[in-house]
Amino acid sequence: MAGRGGRGRGRGGHMTFNVEAVGIGKGEALPPPTLQPSPLFPPLEYKPVPLQTGEEVEYMLALKQELRGAMKNLPYFIKPSAPKKDVERYSDKYQMSGPVDNAIEWSPDWRRLPQELKIRVRKIRKQRKEEEEEAYDEEEYEEETDYIMSYFDNGEDFGGDSDDNMDEAIY
């Protein structure tokens, strides 16, 4: 057997190695090629053992579910702004309005966070010219106010790129 070698032997002709080494005996048909992915839910050969039970497990389960529920109601859970409705409904007026897109609902300690994360809340302007504001591009709008602010603020920070930082402290 060793003399003839596995190579170039009849049917197994395409194999570059001794097929017997992988457990296919002489004269046995090669397994058919696999043409499809393995099943998504393959049958279980061994049934899983039951889960642990007991007070500890029960309590931890309750804690897990409570925690998940609690997290959903905290301000850290950022809900995407509600999609625009197809038609304006009468009842919309009485629905609780969702969070404003650019307002943060909790109060982070800004001393611990990079300056650039500070979100500018535009309350005063909003009341005055609500419609115009929406037309503004975010960046343009900021830069415009930056200029005014730095101009009318103290003169010390005038010029240079330091006023880029200053405006955030003002808001």
76 binds other proteins (CB under 8 A): yes
Q: Is residue 60 involved in binding other proteins (CB under 8 A)?
A: yes
From the CB of 132, what's the least distance to other proteins, in Å? 19
Give yes or no for a contact between 21 and 6, defined as CB atoms under 8 angstroms apart: yes
Q: Is 49 in the site for other proteins (CB under 8 A)?
A: yes
Question: In this chain, which stretch among 29-37, 90-98, 108-116, 126-134 interacts with other proteins, using CB under 8 A?
Answer: 108-116
Is residue 138 within the footprint of other proteins (CB under 8 A)? yes
Extract the tokens encoding 35.
């043409």
Instruction: For other proteins, give the closer residue by CB, 78 or 124.
Output: 78
Site for other proteins (CB under 8 A): which residue of 8, 11, 30, 64?
A: 64
Q: Cα separation of 168 and 171, whole Å?
A: 6
Question: CA-to-CA distance for 6 and 20, rounded, in angstroms?
Answer: 8
Question: How many residues of this chain bind other proteins (CB under 8 A)?
Answer: 53
Query: Does residue 134 belong to the site contacting other proteins (CB under 8 A)?
Result: no
Q: 68 in helix, strand or coil?
A: helix
> What's the rounded Cα separation, in Å, for the pair 141 and 138?
5
Q: Is the CA virtual torsion 52, 53, 55, 57 positive or negative?
A: positive
Stretch of residues binding other proteins (CB under 8 A), selected from 52-60, 82-90, 124-132, 143-151: 52-60
